[in-house]
């Protein structure tokens, strides 16, 4: 077990033409922690996510993930699917991206593709239904069943994902990401659109993922209930820059964060900006 942070961003910059979406961002996410990335709308949170999961190639800077065995991966040059395949970074999406026409169970089986692909001898053994593959498939269904239970979706396992209610779709997306057996789970606004009861249940789910599977979690969230209750560490972004970082209690009382979120009087802005050094 290495003590290096699971995820480490150094001087990450992402530029879209004239727009500087992420500006020289550096932070670490500790192994086994829930790290929250917050900030007002348009702060660049999702862009950071897309850089980490390889959907964008950052303009400059580096992103490293270190596995438990000390193996280190540089993510900035890897294409998206290789990051999920080799580095085991899984993600969910702000606007849910399930396979709507496939059942909940099938969604979870697709997530175990790479493992099953090897078990099926790249399709050849699987085509003739050899026992090795059938065993692997049973295991895959068992893992899927485990996560369906965890997300309280067992009853809906055989329904198409597109027919599930919104909250259930959010949970299913998390279950699907967990079926890839990730070391780092990136959640893009998992509580968006959930009612208070559902977001409490989400807290329970995320805590149990953290405690039982030792998966580190990085999450973007606007729902402060979720953020303050479950995160171990919070990073605050505004206009692509990190303006603060610390424990939830520290962030809650940080003037710069309050200013970024709530806005302040003109002279106060100048005062705060002078403090930040803008």
Nearer to another protein, 22 or 90 (CB): 90
Concatenated DSSP letters of 107-160:
HHHHTTHHHHHHHTTTTHHHHTT-HHHHHHHHHHHHHHHHHHHHTT-GGGTTSB
CA distances from 193 to 90, 95, 118, 198 (A): 21, 10, 38, 9
Shortest distance, position 268 Cβ to another protein, whole Å: 42
Shortest distance, position 83 Cβ to another protein, whole Å: 8
Shortest distance, position 117 Cβ to another protein, whole Å: 5
Shortest distance, position 116 Cβ to another protein, whole Å: 4
Residues that bind another protein (CB under 8 A): 53, 55, 80-86, 90-91, 93, 97-103, 105-106, 109-114, 116-117, 120, 123, 126-127, 129, 141, 145, 148, 154, 157-163, 176-177, 180
Q: Quick one: CA torsion of 165, 171, 176, 177, rounded to 10 degrees?
A: 140
What's the CA gap between 51 and 270, in Å, rounded? Answer: 32
Shortest distance, position 173 Cβ to another protein, whole Å: 9
Nearer to another protein, 103 or 216 (CB): 103
Shortest distance, position 226 Cβ to another protein, whole Å: 22
Nearer to another protein, 13 or 94 (CB): 94
Nearer to another protein, 80 or 232 (CB): 80
What's the CA gap between 278 and 275, in Å, rounded? Answer: 8
Residue 31 has φ and ψ, to the nearest 5°, of -60, 130
Nearer to another protein, 132 or 162 (CB): 162
Nearer to another protein, 43 or 109 (CB): 109
Nearer to another protein, 88 or 239 (CB): 88
Cα dihedral across residues 179, 89, 91, 249: positive or negative: positive
CB-based burial, 195-234: b 16+ in 10 Å, e otherwise = eeebbebbbebbeebbeeeebbbbbbbebeebbbebbbbb
CA atoms within 13 A on the CB side of 180: 26
DSSP state of 162: G
Shortest distance, position 185 Cβ to another protein, whole Å: 12
């Amino acid at each position: 077990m290495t003590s290096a942070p699971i995820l480490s961003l150094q001087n990450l910059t992402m530029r879209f033409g004239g727009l500087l979406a992420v500006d020289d961002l550096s932070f670490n996410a500790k192994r086994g922690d829930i790290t929250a990335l917050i900030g007002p709308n348009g702060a660049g949170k999702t862009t950071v996510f897309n850089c980490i999961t390889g959907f964008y190639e950052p303009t400059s800077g580096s992103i490293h993930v270190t596995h438990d065995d000390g193996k280190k991966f540089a993510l900035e040059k890897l294409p998206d699917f290789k990051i999920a395949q080799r580095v085991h970074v899984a993600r969910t999406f702000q606007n849910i991206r399930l396979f709507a026409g496939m059942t909940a169970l099938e969604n979870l089986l697709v997530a175990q593709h790479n493992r099953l692909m090897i078990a099926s001898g790249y399709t050849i053994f699987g085509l003739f239904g050899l026992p090795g593959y059938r065993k692997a498939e049973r295991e895959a269904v068992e893992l899927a069943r485990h996560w369906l239970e965890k997300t309280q979706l067992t009853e809906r396992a055989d329904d198409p994902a597109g027919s599930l209610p919104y909250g259930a779709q959010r949970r299913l997306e998390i279950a699907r990401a967990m079926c890839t057996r990730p070391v780092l789970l990136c959640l893009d606004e998992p509580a968006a659109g959930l009612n208070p009861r559902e977001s409490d249940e989400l807290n329970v789910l995320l805590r149990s993922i953290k405690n039982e599977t030792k998966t580190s979690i990085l999450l973007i969230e606007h729902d402060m209930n979720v953020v303050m209750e479950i995160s171990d560490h919070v990073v605050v972004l505004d206009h692509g820059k990190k303006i603060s970082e610390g424990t939830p209690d520290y962030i809650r009382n940080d003037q710069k964060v309050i200013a970024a979120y709530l806005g302040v009087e003109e002279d106060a802005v100048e005062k705060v900006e002078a403090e930040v050094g803008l």
